[in-house]
Amino acid sequence: MDICPYSACSNLYLRNEIAKGVGVVEPRLHTKYGGGITVAEEEVERSRFGLYIASSLVLILLMTLALPMVFSANKETAYSAYVFESAEDENMRLAQLNLMADSLGETGEGYTIANTMSTPMLVNDWQNPHRTLLAIIAPEKPIDETEANKIYEFVTERGGKVIIAADNNNANRVAAKFGVTYFDDPMYDIDHYWNQFDVEGNANPPNAKNVWSLASIEQSLTDPDGDGVGVMSEFGQDRGCEASQLTQHLYTECRMPVMFREPTGLKVEDNCANSEYECDVKVLAQASVSAFIDVAGDGDSGNTLNPAPGDLALVVRIDYPGISAQDYKKDNAGSLSDIDVTGSILFVSDQTAFSNRLWDYDEAEDTGMRNECDVADSACWQGRLTGNTMWDGNEHYFSAVIFSMMEFDNQELSATVKYASENFHIVFDESRHVTGVLSAPFTDAMATIVLLTSDAFLKWLIILNILLLLLVAIMVVPEKPNWRHVFDLTRFRERPDKLDPVSYRQRVREALMAKVRIFYDLTRDEMALKLPGEVQTMIGNPRLVELAYSENRTYSPEELRELLQTIRRWGKEK
């Protein structure tokens, strides 16, 4: 049998609603016999709550590990600088950047090689940004607006160096800030294509998506701004770069063959005139005038849906000179001084140009490519140059461009800095790539942690603290809400926090409205829809109506206590 009739229990509930409004905790019925919750019942409740907490944490942990693995299932990491040549799939091995990283690192040019797994948003926090190059090659995930802004600041304000290589529009947010646009479809160039050969040495059918170009290193092949400054002469466009020129870093007035595999096209707008920063736009490599973008997917140059503007670029370089940076100056090598540096960004219309397949000629030869072409063929690059016309892998061209972008020719920079390649950094952006199934949870976790700090010691300290917090959360069960039970003497001295006197009137008003709502059996939404006139009619008592709706009336504590007694009697009056 119930301990109290419905009306009595309802009145008790109303008293508690009113009491909450003025900060007084009334006795509550917790057991059938009114004696409060027993110790045994509290322990059961605590155990059950602890089980819920532990189960939730375990579920969250499993989801954290499982979801990245699910999303990366059946996907292999491509265009990473850290996938070794022992990759099981030959095509995946050729679609990596480890040969590029090796040739630019300790065994080659001597740059310090690093990577970022989190986001390019942190570029402006790096040390010596003017001596750091960020390589974003094959962005499989779009670069968002925040990252694009940070990259723009990195180049234009900090003097940083960036290479972005893509054959789609994933990099268009950052490219647009520099006046460059990536198409999202492959290019066909029937005048500039290279042949592929089978194992018997026979040429495969022509493929106009395998594009070559004769690229310059520092000078523009066109004149975007019309001032003629920095544009290569016709004599230079006909000369191939000799090995001696590359060794001595003499990069002007010569071009080199560069190979691309299914690139897209770049549209370039010279926005330097409207930019707040001084800059110089250079088209280093371009397609032939017959090239078009295969938007329709039919490979038909006559299709009006396939744009053929005649000025599609393949490699675009934009330099921002005159940026102030802190470094060791030539005449003051013992301390940091302000020097002028140049920010540079290189847009490449194909990530494959940096891959193992095209970076190293030995790899290219094994896959059916040749470093020479038939001069009688109208599509042969060797018929367009004098001097050195051999293609020996893309490594030599892009290594020269990277050297040119760095501050090695800065006359203000201390020789002890610029004559040691290890003082210059190349950072591969691994955050743009799909990671392996097993490594995905670790990579995503590290990406989040790197947002907090780049210090190696602090990274692992954060990881250990996260594990410790999970352990503590599982072991420690939170206490129940601090109710004072009338019949529980062990908690007799526990009191709720005192209320601010300024809120007394509002609490009393809320208690009145709660009692009116409950008395008329209305939900909170139904009560909120009532018009003021209806509510006033429901209340009836003029003093209580004034309490509910008068904004100018002030009450003393004594008046509020009297009104509280009136509110308690109001239900009985009805």
- Token readout for 269 is 């707008």
Nearest-5° Cα angle at 470, 467 to 471: 85
Say which residues have a Cβ less than 8 Å from residue 65's Cβ, sequence separation at least 6. 441
What pLDDT is attached to residue 306? Answer: 92
What pLDDT is attached to residue 3? Answer: 42
Which residues in the chain show pLDDT less than 70? 1-47, 49-50, 53-54, 56-58, 60-76, 84-88, 118-120, 225-227, 333, 433-502, 572-574
pTM for the whole thing? 0.67
**Radius of gyration of the chain measured on its C-alpha atoms:** 36
Q: What are phi and psi of 414, to 5 degrees?
A: -60, 140
What pLDDT is attached to residue 142? Answer: 86
What pLDDT is attached to residue 314? Answer: 97
- Token readout for 266 is 């770049």
What pLDDT is attached to residue 45? Answer: 65
Sequence spans of domains, the chain: 6-37+496-573, 40-75+437-484, 93-433
What pLDDT is attached to residue 64? Answer: 56
Strands 332-348 and 313-329: antiparallel
Q: Render 178-237 in DSSP notation, one character per residue.
A: TTEEE-SS-EE-SSSB---B-TTSPBPPP-TTEEEEEE-SSSBSS-TTSS-TTBPPHHHH
What pLDDT is attached to residue 448? Answer: 55
What pLDDT is attached to residue 284? Answer: 96
Alpha-carbon gap, residue 563 to 326, rounded angstroms: 71
Q: Read off the pLDDT of residues 148-183 as tens digits, 9 standing for 90 and up.
A: 999 999 999 999 999 999 999 999 999 999 999 999
Q: Is 321 left (phi over 0), alpha (psi -120 to 50) or beta?
A: beta
Which residue has tokens 């020269």?
Answer: 400
